[in-house]
Amino acid sequence: MQSWLPFTPDKASTFADSVDGLFFYLVGLTAFFTLLITVTLVFFVVKYRRRSQTEVPRPVAGSLKLETIWTVIPFLISMSVFVWGVRAYFAQYHMPNDAMEIYVVGKQWMWKIQHPTGQREINELHIPVGRKIKLIMTTEDVIHDFFVPAFRTKADVVPGRYTTMWFEATKPGRYHLFCAEYCGTNHSGMGGWVIAMDPTDFNNWLAGGEGEESAASAGKKVFQEQGCISCHGANGEGGKGPPLTGVFGSNVKLEGGQTIKADEDYIRNSVRNPQSQIVEGYRQPLMPTYFKEQLSEEHLLQIIAFIKSLSPATPQVASPATAPPPKPASANTNANTTGANTKDAAGTNPVLKTQGNQK
């Protein structure tokens, strides 16, 4: 369903009304004062024009009342814009605790996406309608920007850190996904689709990927293959590194007395730059630095998913908890397998032709 204005995208998220309302409020204020000032200017030019060369205008005394009016009214209008903008901003950037987490890695020139249950997509993101979705995003190369106009939300994806954003789709549909930050010669081809589905159809789509390895399971495998278990172990069995059970989301005390929250950025930095955040009581720098070259961003996200799974307080939200039981797959015309629509993107982006070999 197209928006009632032909030059605006669909409204398909809980943010859309507040963002559009603020936008049109600003446009209305701009148009009103532009017209008011222009009409007043023309009126004054005509009414108070000089009628003879010898005419001298009479002096005009100041007016405290007038000064107060044109000070207070603009102040109130400015504050209304500020309050509206702050509410919209905090609604978008305050992450909900009950959101379904999906991992996104930007790369010239594609979006690589992995669901907690293991389904992988390129330039497509399947989500359920009516469920909060939290994206944990990073990039393998340059700055990108994840932008879904229909959801009225966007966020820069910056190298060396994690960016989070969330949204909640309000109606099923297929919505454009763009990179809104110039990222190289094929920037214009770095697009895709967000496919919002009814919860039942989304469950059917998830069921179509049965056999996929979950992000936590893949992270556990990487954790073991890299020998991390010999030092850390889930419960500190290695004895050389801090235990990982329950660490995610907790406050970690570092050498020097600093306390830091163990979030995604903390874990990433602990792997990439292990000497920068040494946990109190583990003064001896045993953590090797070569993981920076050995582990890709996708591997890091999988390790983070594994560490999250060791924290009982962390909700595991792989699919909508309130979704009804799946119906037969034949009843879902949109429940394609992972990456089913990447063919269209591959037509303009030859990189996608080798998606099966991406790391």
Q: List, for residues 150-164, the tens digit of each pLDDT value.
A: 999 999 999 888 899
- Spatial CA neighbour of 177 closest among 155, 204, 201: 155
pTM confidence score = 0.71
Range with the poorest average pLDDT among 15-29, 68-82, 127-141, 344-358: 344-358
If asked whether residues 207 and 322 sit together in one domain, one would say yes
Q: How far apart are CA 200 and CA 178, in angstroms?
A: 27
Structural domain that includes position 221: 215-309
One domain, residues 325 and 300: no
- 115 and 77 in a common domain: no
pLDDT (mean) for 238-265: 81
- 72, 78, 79, 81 alpha-carbon torsion, rounded to 10°: 150
Residues in the chain: 359
The reply to whether 51 falls in a domain is no
Residue 69 Cα distances to 36, 59, 64, 74, 76, angstroms: 16, 21, 9, 9, 11
The total number of structural domains that make up the chain: 3
With H, G, I as helix, E, B as strand and everything else as coil, classify residue 78. helix
Give me the pLDDT at residue 339, please.
39
* One domain for residues 297 and 234: yes
pLDDT-wise least confident of 223-232, 245-254, 298-307: 223-232
Tokens 């059970």, residue? 245
Q: Which residues contact 242 (CB under 8 A, 6 or more apart)?
A: 232, 236, 252, 279, 281, 282
